[in-house]
Amino acid sequence: MQQPRLFTVLPEYVCTPDGMAIDIDGNLILACPNFADRSKPGCILKIDERKNIKKWVDVPVLEETGHAFPMGIAFGPDGDIYICDNQGWPGDPELVFKGRILRLRIKNDKVVKTTVVAYGMEHPNGIRIHRNHAYVTHSMLSKVKDPSGLMVSCVYRFGLDEENIEITNTLEDSHIITTFLTHNKDIQYGADGIEFDKAGNLYVGNFGDGAVHKITFNDDGSVRENRVWAQDPSQLKSTDGMIIDAEGNLYIADFCANAVARVSTGGKVTRIAQSPDTDGLNGELDQPGEPIIWKGKLILTCFDLVTGPQMVNTKHEMPATLSELEPR
């Protein structure tokens, strides 16, 4: 397995880095929900090719809560950035069911237009833009009671120009395209990582099961099939963020195991790096949450916050870090 390296140490105003994207100029864009210290505003960073870091913008807060918690991010074809504002992630009763999908237009490092695509969401997490739609993983649908008693999660699909869609977090929501059950009773947390391949097939990680689902579509955009495509508990314990390379290999952040796995085009899972409990200052994987391929390297955010019997991570430390690996 590879030895992760330190990509960068993040500024003190960042304590919980998460989603990433690449802008039209090739800069690495980083979402920071800052769950570990909610006095720090949820913000978006820009990192240039020389690793110069600046705060791009603070994400507009939800007036009702005074917070914004940007997790998954993706750029639309017009350069607007779409953001999963996961208000419910901290679990506070006053924040649950207040998540949003935001569309921000940013000019000269200022937000000049904010559009609320959807609101009232329990747990919006990852996002990808594909063929004029935004696809969003929604990690919990706690209002939906499956006969099995297991957690239900889903993927929502929104048109890029839709706005002000009220979400009920039930199966009555017409924007839900497919659902998942998480069978691991010890980690009842569902749809998380999300990615498309060149053929337009959708891949979604079922976090608690450590499984990758492959979703195929009919010509009219309806789901043809949703099936477990890759799963190997010895190599992949949990499926957080994911990214696909030019050859079709899928790289997945294994949040629980402080690890990263690669899934081949044939669905074979191989762990390529793993770290013990760490502060990440030497580049170790400190609860990796999201991977991206940038400038020929596999860059990973270190979320470094969640603890418990299923986690290698035992505590949160500052400063926050990013790691890097070779995408092989």
Topology of domain 14-246, CATH: Neuraminidase (2.120.10)
CA 195 to CA 203: how far, in whole Å?
Answer: 5
Joined together, the tokens standing for residue 116 give 């609320």
For residue 291, count other CB atoms closer than 10 A to its CB: 28
Domain residue ranges of the chain, discontinuous segments joined by +? 14-246
CA 239 to CA 209: how far, in whole Å?
Answer: 8
Under a CB-based contact definition with an 8 Å cutoff, are residues 80 and 135 in contact? no
Let me know the angle formed at the C-alpha of 15 by 245 and 12, rounded to the nearest 5 degrees.
Answer: 110
Q: Is the peptide bond before 319 cis (omega within 30 degrees of 0)?
A: yes
Let me know the angle formed at the C-alpha of 235 by 6 and 258, rounded to the nearest 5 degrees.
Answer: 30
CA 167 to CA 173: how far, in whole Å?
Answer: 6
Under a CB-based contact definition with an 8 Å cutoff, are residues 206 and 188 in contact? no
CA 256 to CA 199: how far, in whole Å?
Answer: 30
Q: What is the pLDDT along the chain (328 residues), one digit of tens a residue?
A: 999 999 999 999 999 999 999 999 999 999 999 999 999 999 999 999 999 999 999 999 999 999 999 999 999 999 999 999 999 999 898 899 999 999 999 999 999 999 999 999 999 999 999 999 999 999 999 999 999 999 999 999 999 999 999 999 999 999 999 999 999 999 999 999 999 999 999 999 999 999 999 999 999 999 999 999 999 999 999 999 999 999 999 999 999 999 999 999 999 999 999 999 999 999 999 999 999 999 999 999 999 999 999 999 999 999 999 999 999 8
73, containing H or E segment: strand 70-75
Predicted structure pTM score: 0.98
